[in-house]
Structure 1
Amino acid sequence: MPDTSERLSLPYLMPAQAQKHVTHNEALQRLDLLVQLAVEGFEADTPPALPQAGEVHALGDAPIEAWAGHPGELAAWVGETWQFTAPQDGWVALDKSTGILHRWGAGAWAEVSAPDLANLPGLGVNTDHDSGNRLSVSSPASLFTHEGAGHQLKLNKASAADTASLLFQTDWSGRAEMGTAGQDDFAIKVSADGSSWTTALAFDAASGIASGAALTQGVDDATVGRLLRVGDFGIGADAGPLVTDLDAHDLSGSFSSYGGAHAQAPVGANPFPALNEVFGLLCGNSTLGGRSAYLWQIAVGIDTPGLAFRVRATGAWGAWQPLWSGANTTVDANGFIKEASPIVRLFRDGREEPAVPLGAGFERVGLGHYRLSNVPPLASRGWQIEAPQDANGNRLVHVACSYDAGTLDIRTREVIWQDGWAGGAPRDIPEGRWVDLRFDMD
């Protein structure tokens, strides 16, 4: 019978041996050092100056001093001396300084690598996996974080006709899905029962243009809760909804337009004088009394610049109320605000065009004599000419006009009394003052 064990070289108790406790304690001491082996470090060559009881070092190829002659062995400080043990294949030791396991094999220590998890049939974390769900996780949350920078979660499908999506379920019944299902367009779908699905939003893979039930479906779609597309209610469209009935109740909340190109003139009062003029229409409603109880409309003139509004209450539309602005009024030479169609301000050395230019030509023929070309006749109703006045309301010049084939001839003279105010000697328009000339609408 051998004196020591095959693997750990533990001493055996012999028959009739004296002081058996010495041999037994030596075996326990070796077990204490080698079982659950943990070393101070690997590839050590120089013994520490003050070793502590129980220290174990995995020696390198060229140990010196007290370790000399024991390359590759384990050196353990026991009592007052170093004991040496040659490791055997398969022994595992923990590096106490790094926490890394090492395994002895082929005459050297090597780090123990993580187990190879490639090509597993499945993995279940706190639950079972199956053929359809080869990775299953039962947990309050799952965390995927970066490794120093960003992080991507990738869903790859074989072809455009396949599906790559995220499915959200309630009690294992689908309620929402987002991804590329059956095509490469990205879509967000919802369901109330897991069987009937509605595409809320879809984005064309080529253009990125959006569609779906969450968007307005046409220029006159006023469904509450839908997102407004460019082009609906006139926003971003060439024309927007074409309004044929200004008094319609279903225009609330819309941006609309009316143009002279319509085959049918609009029903309801027109906010601008000429029925076929182009204007924009903004419609809205109050939250009081239901959708059609209190409505409002704002019209913006385009052919004739201007702004008008009206409201609907107690079942009837009120009259259009025009807002006075520089487009439909003028401040005459005497500081008064007056209603305006196209007005040209005539100065002694030039002319000032209205908000919508007439393109009038100007010529100073002589003293108190001016000529405007390429103009319509003076207004056929309302006032035509306003001359500058002094502080007492007396006219500073007498103005007389004649019109012929697009040309207006204007003469200004001194003001004299001849059984009424009349023109005397020619006189230019005073410096810094002007004559207002109001023309017919086109």
Structure 2
Amino acid sequence: MSISPLFRWPNSVNHFITTELAAGDFIVATVGGVPYTLPVKTVTNNTALTLVSNFTGPTQSGSAWSAVPRLALNMVTAALVAQSAEALRGLNYDKQNWQQVFSGTGNITVRLPDQSEFSGPSWKYLSDNMATKSGGAVPVNQGGTGATDAAGSRKNLGLGSAAILDAGPDIGKVMTVGFNSVGIGSVNDAGVPPLGNYNRTDIPRGIYTGAPTAPGAPGSNGGAIALIMNGSYGFQLAKQNLYSALQYRECRAGAFGDWWTLYSSGNTTRASDGTLKAASPIVKLFADGSVETNEESQGVTVTRQAVGEYLIEGCIGLNADAAWGGIDGGFDIPTDRNKQPRIWLDYKVNADGSIVIKTYHRMHASAPEFARNRIGHTDANRTFTEIVADGEPVDIPADSFVSVRVEMPVNSIWNQKQKDILEAMEKAEYERQQETQP
């Protein structure tokens, strides 16, 4: 179909038709204020061409026109298709996401057009788990207090009267912990150094770590703990380390008394006669050679070598504690109901520190017949025959034991524990000092 007169050009520009247009290209012109994009079927010559379809616009001469190559328009179309597909894909994602938001039962994952994702609870989950108020209050089982006022809330939550009290040292306040309060607690929790003077009377009630060499301290390796009561009137309790005895002293009108040691099963031993003696380190020796040690004598072993002869190893001789009678008195032997010794005892300390204990039968010839401690049997004529003579080797009585106070080597279990404790305390104090330095 021939182009209308609208598309006939003056001879001065005719040569542009054949050079700028080809079949399949487009021309763009504005006619009557309306833009038209017209596809070209064939180019006849420099003054005429044929359109793919009839031009339905008005006729107008001398209009300006522009050539649009087919490739350029194809690229525009392809870009439009891609953008439309992306927009449609986004709409599909939105539809899927909204369906999850409305109908999901738990956590859902939302995917965006750029393929990024994030997770969270669905609206249905939030609705199902939303607290329901009753009388304006959220129930306790739904995370609320079950009340609309403070008093009711405390009651429902099981809070007592202390919940409405302030903290502090005054009457009617909750007792707190630390150096500047009246509660019981370590001063180190408040960043305060250990007690440097046990004789102070301005320390509030509490439990404090203290330097073992500070004025007024009981004096020992390790760090003491003091309980100060009521300033210048009260008492102090102190314990140097994990295994030491508990000590105490009183304070009256700012004057401290002497430290006194509290004895217990940890620092005493019950002798064979039932009396208590200061323990450390103690070995209980039985008739068959079995042994019972306390914490300080751990590692000691005993061997029964013959009748009435026992070898104690793992020690370095006898302890010279004066409370036991010095180095030659570190024994406690069984006695009868009249407090008469039932055996004789002799010993020898070997070069390696081991101890040989020898026990012998002991009679009391001057005592009444029932108290002479004779070992034998009576025949049918009621005649008594002794089978063990006085001074003859005999095992320790089966119903009793011999207590031996020994000296332990520096590498004993007990001494190693004490060393480890001291080193740990010194390390902790060093680290605390480092942390508190500006």
What range is the shorter-chain TM-score in? 0.3 to 0.5
Higher strand share: 1
Q: TM-score, normalised by structure 2?
A: 0.43
Comparing both chains, which one has the higher relative contact order based on Cα–Cα distances under 8 Å and sequence gaps of 6 or more? Answer: 2
Structure having the higher Rg = 2
